[in-house]
Amino acid sequence: MNINIFENSELGSQFVAEQIQALIKKKTKLTEEVILGLATGSTPKELYKKLVSMYKAGEISFEQVITFNLDEYHPMSHDSEHSYHHFMNQIFFDAVDIKAENTWIPSGEVEKAQIESHCREYEQQIVDVGGIDLQLLGIGTNGHIGFNEPGSTIDSVTRYVELDEQTRIDAAAAFGGIDNVPRNAISMGIDTILKAKEIVLMAWGSGKAEIIRDCLFGEITAVKPATFLQKHPNVHIVLDREAAALIDVD
Ligand code: PGA
């Protein structure tokens, strides 16, 4: 794994924004579409702001970009302020030139009986566009990536999941109390993530230091799903000093 440590999250986010810019330039020159796997949460917020600034400065275009988000709560109205649909529209999609029909997010609105086929279609849509070129990830304090909670297996695909207690605790403040945090979600699987050609995992702050150490250097185990990233040949880990505090890198 390639580990990049920055003084702060702003510099780390700038680095990732420039990686995305370079990928878009390279592929669009060949008139190819660019397939990005996107993450939500607090970690990628600065990155999206940087990408919006680059767009406004005429330095990047998302006209040939297709995106697939990792996950969405279920049930969850797309209009809810807590939905990842709302998050993505507000912070990124509405502010750039991406085509709405090119932005895919698992739906929190599908009926329970339709979830399985919805998940199969989501996987198929990724396959149909040729797979994800670059997958962005944050990491949960319990080692989840997407909503692949502890216990998620390496062969898991997009599916209905139960949220881990720690995940619900971590989300409680944003929802105004743990009782308001959904118990379920739809998430890409570990296998879906590992099929991406390139993966960029970002982590900021001391709260992530322990799980970063364990996931980068610990035993590969479903107990900490991010450890499965050790099996991928092209992973970039982007950390600030605090998140990197417990790892030795020369
Ligand atoms: P955060 O969440 O970015 O809000 O820390 C990361 C995650 O749970 O994947």
Beta bridge partner(s), residue 160: 186
DSSP-derived 3-state class of residue 162: strand
Please give the backbone phi and psi of residue 202, each rounded to the nearest 5 degrees, phi first. -110, 145
Total residues found in the chain within this entry: 250
Where does ligand 1 bind, in terms of residues with CB under 6 Å? Answer: 41-43, 138-140
Q: How far is residue 202 CA from its own chain's centroid?
A: 9
**Confidence label for 68 from pLDDT (cuts 50, 70 and 90):** very high
Cα end-to-end distance, the chain, whole Å: 14
Of 62, 166, 161, 66, residue with least CA distance to 119:
161
pLDDT at 195: 98
CA dihedral 200, 203, 209, 210 (to 10 degrees): -60
DSSP state of 148: B
Amino acid at 100: A
User: Which whole-number Å values give the CA distances from 101 to 65, 93, 146, 235, in the listed order?
Assistant: 11, 11, 22, 28
- Residues 134, 33 contacting (CB under 8 angstroms): no
Closest ligand 1 atom, residue 204 Cα: 5
pLDDT in tens, 166-211: 999 999 999 999 999 999 999 999 999 999 999 999 999 999 999 9
Q: Which of 142, 170, 208, 224 to mutate to test the pocket of ligand 1 (most atoms within 8 A of CB)?
A: 170
Give the distance (Å) from ligand 1 centre to CA of residue 139: 5
- Residues 237, 3 contacting (CB under 8 angstroms): yes
pLDDT in tens, 27-40: 999 899 999 999 99
Domain positions in the chain are 2-240
- For range 87-96, the mean pLDDT: 98
- What is the b/e burial string over 7-35, where b = at least 16 CB atoms within 10 angstroms of the residue's CB? eebeebbbbbbebbbebbeebbeeeeebb
Q: In what order do the strands lie in the sheet with 65-69?
A: 2-6, 235-240, 198-203, 134-137, 34-38, 65-69, 103-104
Give the distance (Å) from ligand 1 centre to CA of residue 147: 10
Closest ligand 1 atom, residue 43 Cα: 3
- Catalytic residue numbers read 71, 142, 144, 149
Give the distance (Å) from ligand 1 centre to CA of residue 202: 9
pLDDT in tens, 43-57: 999 999 999 999 999
Closest ligand 1 atom, residue 141 Cα: 8
| % residues pLDDT > 90 (the chain) | 97
Q: Could you give the CA distance from residue 214 to residue 221 in angstroms, rounded to a whole number?
A: 10
pLDDT at 250: 63
Give the distance (Å) from ligand 1 centre to CA of residue 24: 25
pLDDT in tens, 96-144: 999 999 999 999 999 999 999 999 999 999 999 999 999 999 999 999 9
CATH architecture of 2-240: 3-Layer(aba) Sandwich (3.40)
